[in-house]
Amino acid sequence: MANRYNIEELILYIEALFLAAGMDADKSAIVAQLLVEADLMGHTTHGIAQAPAYLSGLENGLMLGTGDPIIVSDRGATITWDGQRISGVWLTAMAIDLSVDRAKKYGTATMAIRRSGHIACLAAFLTRATENGCMIELASSDPSIASVAPYGGTKPAFTPNPIAIGIPTNENPILIDISASITTNGLTGRLFSEGKKLPGDWVQDKSGRATNDPAVLFTEPPGTILPIGGKEYGHKGFGLALMIEALTQGLSGLGRADPPEGWGAAVYLKVTDPSAFGGMDEFTRQTSWLAESCRNNPPAEGVDNVRLPGDNAILNKAEAIANGLELYPGLLDGLKTFSDNYNIRVPGAI
């Protein structure tokens, strides 16, 4: 039987590790909660799995756990920050909270962040806006890293470039979290380390031949992850990647045209208050009708029922709250060295 863990104990454990590594107490609490939230939602490559890299970043100075962002520009409804390599999870959470406040005043608020630390799982942030009756769009890229080729090319040019959208309804929100590529660096890295294959031909080797073997990404020169649509229709993912690069790096004013500065993120987010448009009641009347019409759509052969983005995440979280969080095998092993160094006890299974 799989091991399950008490959620609060996991959060306190992760928080204690970040505190011991020198992160401010307020930042440690937010980062720990959002990393565990990602695992609660089923995003096992972008939650607790990111903690070892973050702790290493704090130790070697590549990520900061103290300080505040520099305000590059603030026109009320538009804000740009220089994150100064501070924890991207904390920066993004603070930016969303600020944008919700500004959207309540201006109708919409848009932010761009340059020099952010890595921001982990985008889906984990969305309810910070939807629970306040706002719609949110959130995107991220890393101008220092490339693993996805442009459509028709073979040389890495982009990161997977995730984009997430949170949409309030009268019941559970719609929580969309996708990327411009078929798969992610986190998943391909995990499967490569485990000697496993991808479910489909989601990557290509250095010559451009599609394959399901993530090992082609770890050759010299490396292969690349394919954009959404793959070899046939990858122009769709390519177009989405270009848009996300412009929103995250173009608007923040730091990107691939500049010398690389190390693992991190460029971030774009927009929060919209529907009450400033056709009204909150009309907005949720439309989004709720849309959600239910999709869920009630006759399922295709082999499909139990149509589900909306976020439905599984909400079910996963509810099940974990009731029975404890089941962690991906070996997930806590990556934190053992830090636990030993900081003399912090690893939580036991329930």
In a domain, 304, yes or no: no
- Report, as an integer, the average pLDDT of 248-275: 97
In a domain, 263, yes or no: yes
In a domain, 348, yes or no: no
In a domain, 210, yes or no: no
- Report, as an integer, the average pLDDT of 243-262: 97
Q: How far apart are CA 64 and CA 57, in angstroms?
A: 8
In a domain, 148, yes or no: yes
Q: How far apart are CA 69 and CA 280, in angstroms?
A: 32
Give which of 59, 82, 57, 64 is closest to 72, Cα–Cα: 82
Q: How far apart are CA 121 and CA 139, in angstroms?
A: 11
Give the three-state DSSP class for 321. Answer: helix
Structural domain count, the chain: 1
CB-neighbour burial class of residue 193 (10 A; exposed 0-12, middle 13-18, buried 19+): exposed
pLDDT in tens, 230-245: 999 999 999 999 999 9
Mean of pLDDT over the chain: 96
> How much is the pLDDT for 323?
95
Token pair, residue 107, equals 């109708």
Q: Decide: 147 and 160 in contact? Cβ < 8 Å.
A: yes
Per cent of the chain over pLDDT 90 is 97
pLDDT in tens, 154-178: 999 999 999 999 999 999 999 999 9
Tell me, what CATH number does 111's domain have?
3.30.1370.60
> How much is the pLDDT for 300?
97
Does residue 301 register a pLDDT over 60? yes
pLDDT in tens, 83-102: 999 999 999 999 999 999 99
- Report, as an integer, the average pLDDT of 131-141: 98
Q: Decide: 102 and 271 in contact? Cβ < 8 Å.
A: yes
In a domain, 95, yes or no: yes
The pair phi, psi for residue 244, each rounded to 5°, is: -65, -40
| 272: CB partners within 8 A, 6+ apart | 103, 107, 108, 134, 135, 136
DSSP 111-128: EEEEEEPP---GGGGTHH
Q: Locate tokens 């031909």: which residue? A: 201
Give the three-state DSSP class for 171. Answer: coil
235 alpha carbon, distance to own chain's centre: 23
Token pair, residue 304, equals 């139990």
- Report, as an integer, the average pLDDT of 201-229: 97
In a domain, 200, yes or no: no
> How much is the pLDDT for 1?
52
Per cent of the chain over pLDDT 70 is 100
Instruction: Tell me the one-letter amino acid at 15.
Output: E
Which pTM was predicted? 0.95
CB-neighbour burial class of residue 50 (10 A; exposed 0-12, middle 13-18, buried 19+): buried
CB-neighbour burial class of residue 134 (10 A; exposed 0-12, middle 13-18, buried 19+): buried
> How much is the pLDDT for 183?
95
- Report, as an integer, the average pLDDT of 144-155: 96
Does residue 288 register a pLDDT over 70? yes
Query: In terms of residue numbers, what domain contains 111?
Result: 4-182+226-288+309-342
- Report, as an integer, the average pLDDT of 172-198: 96
Q: What number of other Cβ atoms are within 10 A of residue 156's Cβ?
A: 18
> How much is the pLDDT for 3?
87
In a domain, 102, yes or no: yes
